[in-house]
């Protein structure tokens, strides 16, 4: 993925800071922090499913669903936390539980 320019990142930040629904469908948002608007977001060293802002240390889940391949983003209200395992639930209904189903 190409590095975002500041103007594009700022526009994405403004939009998704107010309206988080659909953030999972915007690939560029993997690199934008919704806390400080930084574009210095990198994969977290000890958890491949998480990304972390190098400016404010905000960490969030963003990974591919193992069942359907869709992007899961913990900042998106359509990807709520699973009450069993704590991972995010994909829009297809699957999470990281041993059973593969959200509870």
In whole angstroms, what is the distance from residue 93 CA to residue 36 CA?
Answer: 31
The number of distinct structural domains making up the chain is 1
User: Which structural domain range is residue 24 located in?
Assistant: 6-63
Query: Is 101's pLDDT higher than 60?
Result: no
Tell whether 91 is covered by a domain: no
Query: Is 103's pLDDT higher than 50?
Result: no
- For 50-73, what is each residue's pLDDT tens digit? 999 999 999 999 999 989 999 999
Tell whether 83 is covered by a domain: no
The tokens for 73 are 């983003």
The model carries a pTM of 0.86
């Amino acid at each position: 993925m190409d590095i975002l320019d500041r103007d594009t990142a700022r526009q994405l930040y403004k939009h998704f800071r107010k309206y988080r629904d659909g953030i999972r469908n915007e690939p560029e948002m993997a690199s934008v922090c919704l806390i400080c608007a930084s574009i210095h977001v990198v994969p977290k060293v000890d958890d491949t499913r998480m990304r972390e802002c190098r400016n404010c240390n905000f960490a969030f889940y963003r990974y591919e669903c193992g069942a359907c391949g869709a992007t899961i983003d913990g900042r998106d209200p359509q990807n709520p936390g699973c009450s069993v395992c704590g991972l995010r639930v994909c829009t297809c209904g699957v999470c990281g539980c041993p059973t593969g189903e959200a509870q």
